[in-house]
Amino acid sequence: MTNIIIQGIAGRMGRAVYELIGQREDCRVAAGVDRVDPGLPVPAAPRLEELAVRGDVLIDFSSPEATRAALRYCQGALLPCVICTTGLTEADQALVLEAAKTIPVFQSANMSLGINLLAELAQKAARLLGPGYDVEIIEKHHHNKLDAPSGTALMLLDALQQAADAPYDPVVYGRHAAKQKRAAREIGVHAVRGGSIVGEHEVLFCGPDEVVTLSHSAGSRSVFANGAVNAALFLANSTNKVPGLYSMKDLVKSL
């Protein structure tokens, strides 16, 4: 039985992870961390250092500030962690890489297996279609989401940059700032915020007389919660797991 600590347990994703774990027999919620009392029947504290119990692995769905604190704690406690928080700065990402030198860290901008498949398909399409197709990324989320563009949109952008023979340049986030013709190697990234949209992502390849669209739509937060729990079990149940930065590709290989 794997004991999981959830940081951000009072938030939407934290609760989704809590509810999903309650339906499984291979793991349990050992404790929760949140500055807001989650009102759940598990030990909870506003800071990891204040918990009276220990876990086997941490799942972090919180904020960049809380993630920074979690990385420091996990390094000191030698606790594997799954970082699901988005909106991290380059400095924050440097902390992730530093932590991965001493503990196993699993990180993905999106914990959905389907989204990671979308990234691979987008790479393949970029290679096959070539520079004759203009590429656009569109993401849609609920009106409470803070970061824009989403971490997933940036993950898709990075995947496309890796696949391209020459970098997409410039990267344009919306086109209201300048009225000008689209550049040949330009790539657009656009954010929509409204209602209760869980998460929708599209990659458009616009060519002569045709448009190829690759898309993913999340029906509920459970797809992300399921990926986070599987990542936590991947870290906790591998007896020979060495420190390092792991991703969804590593999880898929293990399956």
Backbone angles phi, psi at 203, to 5 degrees: -120, 120
At residue 240, the pLDDT reads 57
Do 205 and 135 touch, CB atoms closer than 8 A? yes
At residue 178, the pLDDT reads 80
At residue 235, the pLDDT reads 93
At residue 113, the pLDDT reads 87
Catalytic site includes residue 142 = no
At residue 174, the pLDDT reads 87
At residue 239, the pLDDT reads 58
101, 140, 143, 145: the active-site residue: 145
Per-position b or e across 2-26, b if 16+ CB within 10 A of its CB? bbbbbbbbbbebbbbbbebbeeeee
Question: What amino acid occupies position 123?
Answer: Q
CA separation, residue 145 to residues 192, 193, 195, 197 (Å) = 10, 7, 10, 10
At residue 87, the pLDDT reads 85
Q: Are strands 187-193 and 27-33 parallel, antiparallel or unpaired?
A: unpaired
Question: What amino acid occupies position 149?
Answer: P
141, 201, 241, 249: the active-site residue: 141
At residue 241, the pLDDT reads 76
Beta bridge partners of 5: 31, 58
CA separation, residue 77 to residues 71, 98, 189 (Å) = 10, 15, 39
Per-residue pLDDT of the chain (255 residues; tens, 9 = 90+): 999 999 999 999 999 999 999 999 999 999 999 999 999 999 999 999 999 999 999 999 999 999 999 999 999 999 999 999 988 999 999 999 999 999 999 998 889 989 989 999 999 999 999 999 999 999 999 999 988 999 899 999 999 999 988 899 999 998 888 888 999 899 999 999 999 999 999 999 999 999 999 999 998 889 999 999 999 999 998 655 789 999 988 888 887
Catalytic site includes residue 145 = yes
